[in-house]
Amino acid sequence: MRFVHIEDFVHPDAGYQLNLLGRLQVKQGHEVIIVTAELTHVPDYLVSFFGRDHIEEKDEQYYKATGVRILRYPTYNWYSSRAIFKQGLKNFLKSLKPDVLFIHGENSFTGMQLLWSYKKMKLPYVLDSHMLEMASQNQFRGFFRKFFRKFITPIIIKNNIPLIRVVDSDFVEKYFNIPIERTHLLSFGTDTDLFKPDEEAKKIYRSEFGISEDDFVVLYAGKLDNQKGGQFLADALKNKLQPKNAKNIKVLVVGNASKNVYGQNVEKTLSQSENTILRFPTQIYSKLEKFYKIADVAIFPKQCSMSYFEVQSCGVPVVLEENEINIQRASNKKGLIFKQADKNDFRSKILEFTYMSASEIGEYKKNARANILENYDYVPIAQKFTDVMIDEYKRFHKNEK
C-alpha cells in the first residue's frame, strides 16, 4: 500500500518516531512518502540541533538508505511551533494518491484543516496525538480546547477516524472529549537491535574517547535549549560532583547549543564547570549508539525525549524530572526521579548512582533493557501502526460502497 504521512517538521538525521516508523513500514513492503515543511521558515530552535544546510542532499541520502521519500512543501511561516503551509497542500496530498493519509498531530493547524476537509478529500485518515498536560502551556490553551471540542472532535467521532495515542495519557479525553476507548495506545519505541548493551563495544568506544574502564560516565544527549533545560543542566554541573567513594566522574554532553544569547550562556557555563566535561556536536541518529553504550547513567534535566528509549534499550539507568510520565518510566528500578527545577536534588540523584554497588546498578541496567524489549520494541509496534492503517483503509472503502 502507499502510505503518505504529513508532519510539520521532519529532519532525516533525527531519531523521531516517524523516521523509524517510515523505515520499518518500507521493510514491511509498503511505499512510504513523508510530506513536511520546507526549512525556510522553520524556527531556529527546531533546526539548531541538525541545521538547515544541504537538506535536499540529506533527504536523498535518507531515501537511498530507507526507501522513504521526503517531499517538502512551502510554508508561509510558523506560529506556536506549528507550520502554516501555503495554499494547495490538500490538492498536493491528493495528487500523491495515498491509500491512507496519516496526519501526525491531530491538533496541529494542518491537522485541523485536513479534518475540516475530510469529506472533500475522500481519503482514509489516521491521526496521532502526542499531547501531555505538561507540554500544553500556551496561554490560549483554554480557548483552544473549547474550540477543538466544538469544531474538531465531532468530525473525528462522527467519521470514526482512528486516533493513536503515543503516550499513556488521558489528555484527549480530558480536554478534547474524545473517549479513550475510541483510541489506540501505541507507544513510542526504539530499534532494539541497533541500541543494545555491548560490553566489548563499550571498551572500544571508551578507549576511543580517552575514557578509562573505571570512570563513571554521565551522559546528556540532546538539545541545549530552554525546553530541554540546557541552562539548568549547565548550572547543575558547574560545581564539581564529588562522590564520597572518590569515583572519577566524566560527563559527556552531546548536542549543539543554539547560537542565540541563551545558547551562548549555556556553552559559557559548561566551559566553566569544575567537572570533566567532554563536548560533542549533534550526532545523527545512527551514530548515537556508541555514546549510549559507554554511559553509566543518562540524565534528562527537563522534558524527557525520545532518546530515553534508546539509552534504556542500551541498559542505561536514567535520572528524570518529576512528572506524570517520568515517575512511571523510572519505576521498578529503571531510574531515579528528581524534583522539578531542583539542581541540588538533580545532582544528588546522579551521585546516588555512583554509590550503588555493581550488583545494584546492574539491576537497574537489566530492568531498563527488559522494559524496552517487553514494551517498546518498535518492530512489533510499527506493525501495529500499519495494522491500524490497513484496517481503516478497509473500513473506509467498505463504507463507500
CATH value at residue 241? 3.40.50.2000
Burial class (CB in 10 A: 0-12, 13-18, 19+), 76: exposed
Q: Are 74 and 63 in contact (CB under 8 A)?
A: no
Helix axes 55-66 and 17-27, enclosed angle (nearest 10): 40
What's the domain count of the chain?
2
Asked whether residue 74 is assigned to any structural domain, the reply reads yes
**Residue 170 pLDDT:** 86
Both 228 and 349 in a single domain?
yes
- Based on the fold, state whether residues 385 and 305 are members of the same structural domain: no
Nearest 5°: the CA angle 134, 107, 328 is: 35
Residues 29 and 168 grouped into a single domain: yes
Do 173 and 267 lie in one domain? The reply is no
175 and 310 in a single domain? The answer is: no
111 assigned to some structural domain = yes
Q: Are 153 and 178 in contact (CB under 8 A)?
A: yes
Whether 38 and 162 map to the same domain: the answer is yes
C-alpha cell at 1: 500500500
- Indicate whether 66 belongs to any domain: yes
- State residue 16's pLDDT score: 84
Say which residue the cell 502510505 belongs to.
Answer: 3
Does some domain include residue 350?
A: yes
| Residue 313: Cβ within 10 Å count | 27
Residue 310 resides in a domain: yes
Q: What is the C-alpha to C-alpha distance for residues 161 and 193, in angstroms, rounded to an integer?
A: 33
Give the structural domain span for 75. Answer: 2-189+377-400
**H helix or E strand, kind and range, residue 76:** strand 75-79
Between CA 322 and CA 47 the distance in angstroms is: 28
Neighbours of 395 (CB within 10 A): 13
Q: Are residues 62 and 18 in the same domain?
A: yes
* pLDDT at residue number 132: 60
Check whether residue 22 and residue 75 sit in a common domain: yes
Between CA 285 and CA 386 the distance in angstroms is: 23
Going by C-beta distance under 8 Å and a sequence separation of 6 or more, which residues neighbour residue 216?
A: 243, 247, 248, 249, 250, 296, 297, 353, 354
Instruction: Indicate if 16 and 116 belong to the same structural domain.
Output: yes
Instruction: Let me know whether 250 and 396 are in one domain.
Output: no
Closest to 202 measured CA to CA, from 312, 297, 290: 290
Rounded CA gap, 379 and 190, in Å?
A: 8
- Record the pTM: 0.80
| Max CA distance (Å), the chain | 73
284 with 359, same domain: the answer is yes
Are residues 163 and 231 both part of a single domain?
no
- CA-only gyration radius of the chain, Å: 22
Flag whether 361 is in a domain.
yes
65 is a domain residue: yes
Burial of 389 (C-beta count, 10 Å sphere; 0-12/13-18/19+): buried
- Separation CA 401–CA 395 (nearest Å): 10
In a domain, 194, yes or no: no
Tens-level pLDDT at each residue, the chain (401 residues) = 999 999 999 999 888 889 999 999 999 999 999 999 999 888 877 777 677 889 999 999 999 999 999 999 999 999 878 899 999 999 999 999 999 999 998 989 999 999 999 999 999 999 999 876 544 555 667 888 999 999 999 999 999 999 999 888 888 998 899 999 999 999 888 989 889 999 999 999 999 999 999 999 999 999 898 889 999 999 999 999 988 887 899 999 999 888 889 999 999 999 999 999 999 998 888 889 999 999 999 999 997 777 899 999 999 999 999 988 899 899 999 999 999 999 999 999 999 999 999 999 999 999 999 999 999 999 999 999 999 999 999 999 987 76
Contact of 105 with 135, CB cutoff 8 Å: no
